[in-house]
Amino acid sequence: MPYELTRAFEFSAAHTLPESGEGHKCRAMHGHNYILEVVVRGEADPQTGWVVDFGEIKRAVAPILDQLDHQTLNEVPGLENATSELVARWIYERLSPVLPGLARVTVAETPAARCTYWSDE
């Protein structure tokens, strides 16, 4: 039976959306207290009983949070237009080589606004 494990993280960052158009409120510099959810999918190991140790997920995510937390996202290479969509994909692309079973990444700017990215590959 397959399982999904979800581990949530928090980071705070500022950004602007330079492509949002003149007069759009998100064109101005502003910040969010982001919630990042990382989902790993797989079978439970018969010996350990788990898909992956939550600590392994935390170790894989730590370098990414170091790059993003309390930063201006637009200054991070690849996030010059730091939409939720691009941030979620950017994180997924960095996690997928180091986190086997990565299923999806969700980035929430607020409790009501979030974006999820997964690969169909």
Beta-carbon count within 10 A of 39 CB: 17
Cβ burial 13-31 (10 Å sphere, 16+ → b, else e): bebbbeeeeeeeebeeeee
**Could you confirm whether 70 is annotated as catalytic?**
yes
At 102, the amino acid letter reads: L
**Could you confirm whether 26 is annotated as catalytic?**
yes
Q: Among the options 4, 43, 70, 93, which is catalytic?
A: 70
Q: Among the options 26, 56, 80, 115, which is catalytic?
A: 26
**Could you confirm whether 4 is annotated as catalytic?**
no
Nearest to 60 by CA among 83, 32, 34, 40: 40
Share in percent of the chain as helix, strand, coil (round to 5) = 25, 35, 35
Active-site positions read 26, 70, 109
